[in-house]
């Protein structure tokens, strides 16, 4: 049985509510500019190839900056990195209103990638470091609900308004990021974070280096799953619209299909967060991603637009079940002082595989419409098998705690599962790597 201190629970609940609204505002503005951005680049005099470079620069910048931003969050605090990321994104968005050429748009889109990456990593690290493990599934679910809620609204508004006035979309994206940064400033920094920084501050004012991150089995399996999620995202980013167009879908039907993916995800996040805190998290992750993998492989063989839209919406239920659980496993066993870097590794793994998948998916679709979907589904299936093997000795359920305490000092009732070949008393999660 868990007996949590009401004051601590209230503080973490307020933190999660504020963060959920923050990511909702940021992602609503971020996704509003995406649908018509290639058209905007054309109007600047850029080619379709240059438009692709502009779009890719967002992911490239995120890939290069997410782990350093996570490291910075562990060093100076998560709230400053969150606020800075939102401000960077807002400034870059507003700068699109200036008389710029297409090449400058690459730099601004890269700035947006850095800002979005920093904000995402810092927000997840705040939850990881401030919320006890037994409530993290529900807390991560609330953050994802905010993110996908913004993604449900943003593209629809951007598709309608952006056709007539793309400048208005950049302005809205910037203002929403600034509004989100104001909310982030209201967040109270966990006292433990400030105490850890004081302990690392030397007499001369400099700070001692961070301890190395220890990647145990829970986090290692989660990082593998991050790659599988990235592979699927890359294919859908490039090939989903192409597949629907090949089936004769209208622009409205394509827009609805994207929204119908986000809405069920938002609706399912609360129960999926509860499940992550009470059920076997490994089964939720493997089952949820596995369900979406089966659908991914089947899409190119379905010729009904209506069926594709409905199945795409149902696939969101698999992702909703998996995401809070995989985040809970990712941070299981991590100390509060290293979760920024752990989240940076997760984001980097996902973004890297998204970029690889997106780069190859278009060419594969041109060869055969089924090729990118079936190929990625096969690779994801292999990844899930590997993750299941890594997690085989990891306790699936969140351990019971008997006293409220910071995430890194909770008292565990359930004893660790013994592992053949380990000395008595050794952790069942093991340690597979260290990262500076």
Per-residue model confidence (pLDDT) at position 435: 63
User: Per-residue pLDDT for 163 more than 70?
Assistant: no
Domain spans of the chain, in order of start:
6-198+210-435
Per-residue model confidence (pLDDT) at position 105: 87
Sorting pLDDT into bands at 50, 70 and 90, what band is 193? low
User: Which has more pLDDT, 412 or 293?
Assistant: 293
The position carrying tokens 């890297």 is 352
Percent of the chain with pLDDT over 90: 47
Per-residue model confidence (pLDDT) at position 425: 39
Residue 304 CA to residue 301 CA, distance in Å, equals 9
User: Per-residue pLDDT for 86 more than 70?
Assistant: yes
CATH class in words for 6-198+210-435: mainly alpha
Read off φ and ψ for residue 389, nearest 5 degrees: -70, -40
**In this predicted model, what pLDDT tens digit does every residue of 217-266 receive, in sequence order?**
999 999 999 999 999 988 888 788 889 888 998 877 877 887 788 888 88
Handedness of CA 339, 340, 342, 347 (dihedral sign): positive
Plot region of 362 (φ>0 → left; ψ -120 to 50 → alpha; else → beta): alpha
**In this predicted model, what pLDDT tens digit does every residue of 345-401 receive, in sequence order?**
999 999 999 888 887 887 888 899 999 999 999 999 999 999 999 999 999 998 765
Percent of the chain with pLDDT over 70: 83
User: Per-residue pLDDT for 412 more than 50?
Assistant: no
Per-residue model confidence (pLDDT) at position 270: 84
Per-residue model confidence (pLDDT) at position 410: 43
Mean pLDDT taken over the chain: 83
Residue 25 CA to residue 290 CA, distance in Å, equals 31
For 301-314, what is the mean pLDDT?
92
User: Which has more pLDDT, 241 or 203?
Assistant: 241
Sorting pLDDT into bands at 50, 70 and 90, what band is 337? confident
pTM comes to: 0.82
Residue 187 CA to residue 200 CA, distance in Å, equals 23
């Amino acid at each position: 049985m868990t007996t949590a201190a009401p004051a601590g629970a209230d503080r973490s609940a307020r933190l999660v509510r504020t963060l959920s609204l923050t990511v909702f505002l940021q992602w609503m503005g971020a996704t509003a500019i995406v649908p018509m951005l290639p058209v905007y680049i054309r109007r600047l005099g850029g080619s379709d190839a240059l438009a692709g470079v502009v779009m890719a620069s967002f992911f490239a910048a995120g890939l290069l900056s997410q782990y350093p931003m996570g490291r910075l969050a562990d060093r100076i605090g998560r709230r400053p990195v969150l606020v800075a990321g939102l401000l960077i994104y807002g400034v870059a968005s507003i700068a699109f209103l200036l008389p710029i050429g297409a090449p400058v748009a690459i730099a601004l889109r890269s700035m947006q990638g850095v800002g979005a990456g920093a904000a995402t990593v810092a927000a997840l690290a705040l939850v990881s470091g401030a919320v006890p493990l037994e409530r993290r599934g529900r807390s991560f679910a609330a953050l994802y609900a905010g993110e996908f809620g913004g993604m449900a609204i943003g593209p629809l508004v951007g598709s309608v308004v952006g056709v007539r006035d793309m400048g208005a979309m950049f302005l809205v994206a910037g203002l929403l990021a600034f509004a989100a940064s104001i909310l982030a400033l209201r967040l109270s920094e966990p006292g433990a974070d400030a105490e850890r920084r004081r302990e690392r501050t030397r007499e001369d004012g400099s700070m001692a280096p961070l301890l190395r991150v220890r990647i145990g089995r829970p986090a290692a399996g989660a990082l593998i799953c991050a790659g599988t999620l990235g592979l699927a995202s890359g294919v859908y980013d490039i090939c989903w619209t192409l597949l629907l167009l090949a089936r004769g879908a209208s622009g409205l039907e394509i827009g609805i299909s994207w929204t119908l993916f986000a809405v069920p995800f938002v609706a399912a996040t609360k129960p999926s967060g509860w499940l992550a805190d009470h059920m076997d998290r490994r089964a939720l992750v493997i089952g949820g991603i596995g369900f979406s993998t089966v659908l991914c492989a089947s899409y190119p063989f379905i010729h009904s637009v209506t069926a594709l839209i409905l199945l795409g919406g149902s696939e969101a239920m698999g992702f909703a079940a998996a995401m809070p659980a995989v985040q809970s496993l990712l941070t299981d066993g991590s100390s509060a002082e290293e979760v920024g870097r752990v989240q940076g590794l997760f984001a980097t793994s996902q973004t890297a595989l998204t970029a690889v998948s997106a780069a190859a998916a278009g060419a594969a679709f041109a060869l055969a419409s089924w090729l990118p979907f079936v190929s990625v589904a096969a690779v994801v299936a292999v990844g899930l098998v590997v993750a299941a093997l890594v997690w085989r000795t990891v306790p699936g359920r969140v351990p019971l705690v008997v006293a409220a305490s910071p995430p890194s000092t909770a008292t565990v009732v359930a004893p660790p599962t013994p592992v053949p070949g380990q000395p008595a008393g050794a952790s069942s999660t093991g340690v597979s790597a260290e990262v500076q």
